[in-house]
Structure 1
Amino acid sequence: MAGFGLPEGLAAAIASWDVGAAQGALYSDDRTLSRLIGRPTTPLKQAVADALQAL
């Protein structure tokens, strides 16, 4: 990202967020997101399968 002009510090921060997400930092089993959006969440694997099936 820095090679495309993003400041070095910002590029490093974004890269670290990606690493954290890949390591499960965004995972939560407390259903907060479901309560906020008013419906159950859908796992990415299921959402992709549903989208492919709809084609």
Structure 2
Amino acid sequence: MTIEAHLKSLEQKHVALEKELHSAMASPSMDDQQIAEIKRRKLRLKDEMERLKTRH
């Protein structure tokens, strides 16, 4: 997998997590811990994307 393809895949996952986060925040049944976990996953993806962009 090329760096560009990997980066695109990460960006798609990041967008999916953004949608999941908005949905979770709108749902009264989601607790803060679940929302925080989604945010952490999203941040890890963002960090990985930035790392790839600076190497590229």
What TM-score range do you get, normalising by the shorter chain?
0.3 to 0.5
| TM-score, length basis structure 1 | 0.36
More helix as a share of residues: 2
Kindly name which structure, 1 or 2, has the bigger radius of gyration based on alpha carbons.
Answer: 1
Higher relative contact order (CA 8 A, sep 6+): 2
| TM-score, length basis structure 2 | 0.36
